Each structure stands twice: as structure tokens, then as C-alpha cells.
Amino acid sequence: MSQTLRSRTYEFLEPQGSDDQLAVWFDRFMIFLIVSNVIAITLESVQKIHDTYQSFFNGFELISIIFFSAEYIARVWSAPETPNRSYKAPLTGRLKYIFSPLALVDLAAILPFFLTFFFVIDLRFMRVFRLLRLFKLTRYSPALATVGAVLMEQRRQLGAALVIMLTLLVFSSSVAYLLEKDAQPEHFASIPQSMWWAMATLTTVGFGDVTPITALGKVFGAFLMVMGVGMYALPAGILATGFAREFKKREFTVTWKMVASVPAFANLDAVTIAEISGALKPSLIPAHYTIVKRGEVAEAMYFIAEGEVEVDLHPIPIHLVQGDFFGEMALIFKRPRLATVTATTDCHLLMLEREDFDDLMDDHPDLRTHIEETANKRLHEIELLGNLT
């Protein structure tokens, strides 16, 4: 009984892909509560607003702490149900979970409140730490989760870039100190003091409060500006590459699942599905959108991963659902489209272009046989209905 309740608790707190609407609404409520807390903390920093609505802010803080604390306790209790094997042990698993990054963020969101019961702390100082609740959004926001995944994946490259930039900062500060210390001892009295100018120059911010006045200092400053444009663009390039890889990885995962759900590919092995996933292009089609038109030149066929479409045949239209495919006849028989196909609901389609279609049919005879049999059967039905064009 306890095991079942713990499992349900975990599924309730992690509703991704779940059909439990209550869990989905709780997920949205927590996002709303986190954002509301950040807004409240920001408004509290205005002394006039804080003095006027202090009782409201205190009540809202208490309600938020109750929800955040209950969520934290529930997550720690249900930690053994997570897919991570290191959390499976009842005691040591929960201890490991407590020190995981997301659990530490959850703890940081409630810890400042409870510390006031044990220590004499300036509450105005503690308000700043309550802003850590903003980081709880990483648990609920896929976008922020993607940012975290990219930073984790690219940490070595970013670390290398950071070392290069720090080396350049120390070097440029040292040169600036040697060139300007006699002319401007108040600004370039030491290498650490010179770092302010070097940082402002390398980042191309250029505050202008400190500038070189010697001829060599100005030449070196100009050189440093050019270097800064390239060097400080390095992390941006690393992150851009990381985001591209992460999105491609997620797109491949989604495409894999969609391909595996199509009955025509049900008996294929993992390697073949991976190959097909690279050839198929996922497409989201809105309801009532005309996907193909009768008489047009065929450039692709389509597999329905989700949704329904209507094939406009007279006198009785044909409805195709998830797992069906269409558009194959025009490719096999090399002729214009025989019918108009319209989406009756929002659809996820997998498009296979003509060139990839030919390659796939040549490489997988069983799949070719299945699709050709279906195409011949449909062509026979169209001929019987008198719709052959």
C-alpha cells in the first residue's frame, strides 16, 4: 500500500507525459505560485508598498511556505520511485536525493523562512535569498531545463573558454599596468586595479571612466578591443552549438517515438528505426488544412503519428487515423495525386520525400511489399468507385 502511494505521489509530482489532469494543474499552479512569489518579493523591496501591505505579504509568504515545504517533503519521500538507481535505497537514496541540484534548489526556497526561528537574522537581508525560489522554475519549465542541460553538456568547453579568457584578462592587465602605471598611478597602480579597465575593454563595454593616455597604451587598448570581440564571442558560439545539439537530440527522440508508433514500422529493429527517423521529417498540421491536392505532382508520402485525415473520394470519403499512411500511390505509380487529403484534427505527420522513399524501399523489401500491397488495394478501390483520373 505504502509502495503504491509513494509511486502515485512521484507520478503526481512528475506529470510529464501523464494523463492525470489534476497533476498537470498542480504543475501549473506551482509555476504560478513561484512567479507570484518573485513578484511579491520584488514589490516588498519598495518600502511604501511593504508598509501598506505588510500583513498581506506575510500571509502570502506563510501560504507559499506551506505549499513549498509539503512539496519538498513529498519529493524526498517519493525519491526511491525515480528512475535514477542511486535513489532506490530507502535511506541512502533519499540522502543522495537531498543533495541533488534540484533538491537543493527546493530546500533553498524554504530554508530562509525556517532559519529565522533559530537565528536572529535581518529579515530584509533574508528577502534577497527568497528570490532563490525563481530557480524552482527549472523543475517546471522545459525551456529552463534545456538551458541547464546545455550548460551541463558544454561545461568542459565553457571551462576551457573561461580559462582562456582569464588568461587574457591577466595578461592584458599586466601589460596595461606596465604601460600606464607612471602616467596614471591612481588608475593603474597595480595589476588587480588594472583589471577593471581590461575587463571593460575586453567585453567591449567601455565604461570610459578609465582610459589609457600614453601612445603605447592606446595602441594596446585598440588591439585588446579587437581581441575581445573574438574571445568573448567564444562562449556564445559554444552555447549556440550546445543548443543546436540539444534540440536535434530532442527532435530525434520525438521522431523515434512517432516512427515506432506506426504499425508499418512495428517489426523493424532499432537500427532500422534510427535510419528511418533520420529520413522522416515531422510536421504539425492544423485541423482543416489541405495536405495534398488532387492532380498535383507528388513529392512525398505521409505517415500519421497522431490525428485523423480525410481522403476526398466520391461518393464516400475515406478516413485515415493514427498508424495509417497516404500519398504512396503517386510515388509508386509515378503519377499525379488521385485525391485531396485534408486534416480533420490537429495532426502529427511524418513526411517521407520521394528520394528518401526510393532509398527506403530499395533497402527494406518487406516494407516495400507492405506499402505496395496497400497501394494496389487502394487503387483497386478507387477504380471501382470510378474516381481514377
Residue intervals of the chain classified under CATH 1.20.120.350 are 2-140
Q: What is the pLDDT of residue 122?
A: 54
Q: What is the pLDDT of residue 174?
A: 93
Q: What is the pLDDT of residue 141?
A: 65
Quick one: fold of 2-140?
Answer: Four Helix Bundle (Hemerythrin (Met), subunit A) (1.20.120)
Q: What is the pLDDT of residue 260?
A: 66
**Other beta carbons less than 10 A from residue 200's beta carbon:** 17
Select from 303, 245, 297, 247 the least CA-distant residue to 276. 303
- Cell 510536421 belongs to 283
362 alpha-carbon distance from chain centroid: 37
- Does the domain at 262-385 match CATH 2.60.120.10? Answer given as yes
Q: What is the pLDDT of residue 281?
A: 81
Q: What is the pLDDT of residue 375?
A: 79
Select from 381, 378, 274 the least CA-distant residue to 331. 378
Q: What is the pLDDT of residue 389?
A: 46
Residue intervals of the chain classified under CATH 2.60.120.10 are 262-385
Instruction: Output DSSP code: residue 319.
Output: E
Q: What is the pLDDT of residue 120?
A: 64
Distance CA 131, CA 162 (A): 27
Q: Across the 389 residues of the chain, what is the mean pLDDT of every consecutive 10-residue run?
A: 76 72 85 86 85 90 91 91 82 89 84 76 57 68 71 84 88 92 90 90 82 91 85 80 74 64 66 72 87 88 87 83 84 84 89 82 78 79 62
Q: What is the pLDDT of residue 125?
A: 52
Q: What is the pLDDT of residue 350?
A: 83
CATH architecture label of 141-260? Orthogonal Bundle (1.10)
Q: What is the pLDDT of residue 388?
A: 44
